[in-house]
Amino acid sequence: MPRSSRPPRRTWPQRIFLGLAVFTVLACLGAAIGVSYLLWRVDNLDSIDLTLGDIEDGEARNFLFVGSDSRDGISATDPDAGLYLAEPTGGRRSDTIILVRVDPAKVGVDMVSIPRDLWVPIAGTGQESRVNSAYSDGPQALIDTVQDYLGVEINHYIEADFRGFQGLVEALGGVPIWFPEPVRDRTLQFHVDGPGCVNLDATQALAFARSRHLEYQRGGSWQSDPTGDLGRMGRQQLFLQRAFVRSQGLGLTDLGTVNRLLDVASDNITIDSTLGLNELAALAQRFADFSPEAMRTHALPVSGFRTSAGASVLALDQNGAEDILRVFRGDEPRPLTPDQIIVAVANSSGVGGQAGEVSAALSELGFQAGGLSNGGGRIRTAVWHAPGDEDAAQMVADALGSSPELVAADHLGPRALVVETGTDFVAVGQPAAPVSIPPTTAAPATTSKPATGPVAPAAAVGYQLAPSPVDTPCA
């Protein structure tokens, strides 16, 4: 049953991003200090009355974290004004929309970003537009639009603003991020000069979180991330994880640290009025030892198109998104079938036209075709897959019939695989040719990209940052 509660104590200001980080900080605090003090402070957060899906104690629940790109109240003379005003906009739009599922029974957290340019029916209007435009009619319109289109019930709502984001980063003492190479966004005046661990301060962190024009230096030249907003969403999810790690490493038994964090929340965070104190306390206790590395992040499969009016927007691949959305609905996973798997092919055998032939053969077996590329030479055929996608990789391996090596690769998205053919490959469905594989030339089982550089399928999203090397911790 939908629910509503008391009216808001005061009007809510413009909000942007990182409600999740504040929520996780509160969860950590609840386990680290006297809960009664925490709850007294939480009770003073700004709240807003909304109609949301009802839940019982202990059940999984979905949080919608929203940010606004409104520039109201920000003057051109403010410090870092260029960071706020670099991309002028009219009206009020939701700049960031993140759906997070928290399951106390499994002590699990899943997170998916909703692209702001996703073209959807706007609830209650009979019109279609970008999903972020629903926010111009208030949070309830955005909640209803997301629920109706994705078929996912929303149980709680959280917002944060520009100043709140920066205040949170300051209270955390910065957020460390590992950069494998120099990166920059000239629009937002963000730059990292070289590889290494960088503790992002408040200004740098906001620029990193908002960057839609990221460039990275590789091979002596600057290259642009062509995915814009999609790539940004993946990096935001990484930032949230790192902020959670940082919050766990603080001395949260220190009352001064606690007060600074809660001051940020009370001044710049809005929660729905049904997010009660007992619920926060229960979640705090349940997730006290939760590792942020255990968060599962997802990327909705989308493709670009132009509306009849010429607007460049995104369309959701409903079939491809079904497995992700089932997670947030609490449904059992569908049985894995070839049509749920995207397979790109890289020819590393040197046989002309092999990538296209393999892709066509796999398509006939029901797999979705990804991109094609040429590699630099490989002996044993390999199937590259995202960690956790071993079942999909094995299904592709069985179809190949050549006993390929299965290799995990962090740069690939869920159900987005790469087949890299080696000199042992004969044809789809046929055993591999006998070859000698010296130990010094066999491809190592690694989580980095293959040296031959096979193309990633369309589901892989933008330029992403990997965790720091094991021998170079970044915390």
Instruction: Give 431's pLDDT tier (boundaries 50, 70, 90).
Output: confident
* Same-domain check for residues 271 and 420: no
The predicted pLDDT at position 256 comes to 61
Please say whether the beta carbons of 381 and 421 come within 8 A. yes
Whether residue 213 lies inside any domain: the answer is: no
* Same-domain check for residues 26 and 163: yes
How many C-alpha atoms does 405 have within 13 Å on its Cβ side? Answer: 19
CA distance 168 to 151: 32
Q: What is the mean pLDDT of residues 429-438?
A: 64
More confident residue, 180 or 121: 121
* Same-domain check for residues 277 and 164: yes
* Same-domain check for residues 323 and 359: no
Q: Residue 475 pLDDT more than 50?
A: yes
Q: Report the amino acid identity of residue 419.
A: V
Q: Report the amino acid identity of residue 381.
A: T
Q: Residue 441 pLDDT more than 50?
A: no
Task: Return the bridge partners of 178, or none.
Answer: 197
pLDDT digits (tens, 9 = 90+) for 220-272: 899 888 777 777 877 887 887 788 777 766 655 555 665 666 666 666 678 88
More confident residue, 85 or 463: 463
Which of 329, 346, 379 terminates a domain? The answer is: 329
* Same-domain check for residues 425 and 447: yes
pLDDT digits (tens, 9 = 90+) for 363-395: 999 999 988 888 767 889 999 998 888 999 999
Q: Residue 114 pLDDT more than 70?
A: yes
The predicted pLDDT at position 42 comes to 57
Q: State the chain's maximal CA–CA distance in angstroms.
A: 74
The predicted pLDDT at position 466 comes to 67
- Residues 6 or more apart from 145 whose CB is under 8 A from it? 120, 121, 122, 123, 131, 134
Whether residue 401 lies inside any domain: the answer is: yes
Q: Residue 70 pLDDT more than 70?
A: no
Domain that holds residue 100: 2-173+228-329
* Same-domain check for residues 274 and 351: no
Q: Report the amino acid identity of residue 132.
A: N
The predicted pLDDT at position 301 comes to 85
The number of helices, as runs of H, and strands, as runs of E, in the chain is 12, 24
The predicted pLDDT at position 282 comes to 76
Q: What is the mean pLDDT of residues 438-449?
A: 37
Instruction: Output the six-digit token pair for 14.
Output: 């413009």
* Same-domain check for residues 13 and 62: yes
Minimum mean pLDDT range among 96-100, 137-141, 170-174, 289-293: 289-293
Q: Report the amino acid identity of residue 258.
A: V
Whether residue 121 lies inside any domain: the answer is: yes
Signed CA dihedral, 319, 321, 324, 330: sign only: negative
The predicted pLDDT at position 286 comes to 80
Q: What is the mean pLDDT of residues 28-55?
A: 64
Please say whether the beta carbons of 134 and 91 come within 8 A. no
More confident residue, 160 or 286: 286
Whether residue 202 lies inside any domain: the answer is: no
Task: Name, of 30-34, 111-115, 131-135, 146-150, the range with top average pLDDT.
Answer: 146-150
pLDDT digits (tens, 9 = 90+) for 240-251: 778 877 776 665
The predicted pLDDT at position 93 comes to 57
Q: Report the amino acid identity of residue 388.
A: G
Local structure of residue 118 (DSSP, 8 states): B
* Same-domain check for residues 241 and 311: yes
How many C-alpha atoms does 305 have within 13 Å on its Cβ side? Answer: 13
The predicted pLDDT at position 108 comes to 87
Instruction: Output the six-digit token pair for 208.
Output: 């990193």
The predicted pLDDT at position 45 comes to 67
* Same-domain check for residues 14 and 161: yes
Whether residue 223 lies inside any domain: the answer is: no
Minimum mean pLDDT range among 25-34, 133-142, 276-285: 25-34
Q: Report the amino acid identity of residue 3.
A: R
Q: Report the amino acid identity of residue 423.
A: T
Whether residue 187 lies inside any domain: the answer is: no
Q: What is the mean pLDDT of residues 195-208?
A: 90
Whether residue 363 lies inside any domain: the answer is: yes
Q: Residue 49 pLDDT more than 70?
A: yes
- Does this model's pTM top 0.75? no
- Residues 6 or more apart from 69 whose CB is under 8 A from it? 16, 87, 89, 92, 93, 94, 95, 132
* Same-domain check for residues 347 and 308: no
* Same-domain check for residues 125 and 14: yes
The predicted pLDDT at position 204 comes to 92
Instruction: Give 1's pLDDT tier (boundaries 50, 70, 90).
Output: low
Q: What is the mean pLDDT of residues 88-117?
A: 81
More confident residue, 375 or 449: 375
Which of 298, 329, 360 terminates a domain? The answer is: 329
Q: Report the amino acid identity of residue 178.
A: W
Q: How many CB atoms lie within 10 A of CB 440?
A: 5
CATH of the domain at 295: 3.40.630.190
The predicted pLDDT at position 283 comes to 77
3 class by beta-carbon count within 10 Å (0-12 exposed, 13-18 middle, 19+ buried) = middle
Q: How many domains does the chain have?
A: 2
The predicted pLDDT at position 325 comes to 95
Q: Report the amino acid identity of residue 293.
A: E
98 class by beta-carbon count within 10 Å (0-12 exposed, 13-18 middle, 19+ buried) = buried
Q: Euclidean distance between the first and final Cα of the chain, in Å?
A: 43
Whether residue 216 lies inside any domain: the answer is: no
Q: Cα-flanking dihedrals φ and ψ of residue 374, to 5°? A: -110, 135
Instruction: Output the six-digit token pair for 371.
Output: 């991109």
CA distance 366 to 339: 5
Which of 300, 329, 358 terminates a domain? The answer is: 329
**% helix / strand / coil in the chain, to the nearest 5?**
30, 25, 45
More confident residue, 20 or 59: 59
Determine what percent of the chain is predicted with pLDDT higher than 90. 31
* Same-domain check for residues 311 and 360: no
